[in-house]
Amino acid sequence: MCLEIEGQYYFIVEFLHVKPGKGPAFVRTKLKNVATGRILDKTWNSGVKVEEVRIERRPYQYLYQDEMGYNFMHPETFEQITIPGASIDGVQFLKDGDMVEAMVHAASETVLTCELPPHVKLRVTYTEPGL
């Protein structure tokens, strides 16, 4: 689930509904910022409404890099998008043809972040001689 809080998008990492012996119930949450990856601890009183944001995960294939960013193509629609390098964690491990999961804000069709596959195969082409 993704929430919009103060203009920022957050994924819920953890939540706990607490009903103390005295006083009203409240909800403790750990939220992960979609753009920066930082964790935010937030506590709300029970019954507070927050805005849920619809985020879609879409597969894209990496094509090439240019001055605008990294270019990807959707494998079914052949739609091409450009994602800035700051939105991709581990961009140095990206190679031609790799499939990634882009998280797209459904209402505005903007790409929020991009996740690389959990495992990649790379070849060591050069290393310094050992001692």
pLDDT of residue 113: 83
Residues spanned by CATH 2.40.50.140 within the chain? Answer: 55-115
Query: What CATH architecture does domain 55-115 belong to?
Result: Beta Barrel (2.40)
CB distance 95 to 117 below 8 Å = no
What residue spans in the chain does CATH classification 2.30.30.30 cover?
Answer: 2-53
- Which DSSP string do the residues of the chain spell out, in sequence order? -EEEETTEEEEEEEEEEE--SSS--EEEEEEEETTT--EEEEEEETT---EEE-EEEEEEEEEEEETTEEEEE-TTT--EEEE-GGGBTTGGG--TT-EEEEEEETTTTEEEEEE--S---------PPP-
Average pLDDT, the chain: 88
* Alpha carbons 31 and 39: distance in angstroms, whole number: 6
Is 0.75 topped by the overall pTM? no
Residue numbers of the chain with a pLDDT score lower than 70: 131
Q: pLDDT at position 123, please? A: 87
CATH architecture assignment, domain 2-53 = Roll (2.30)
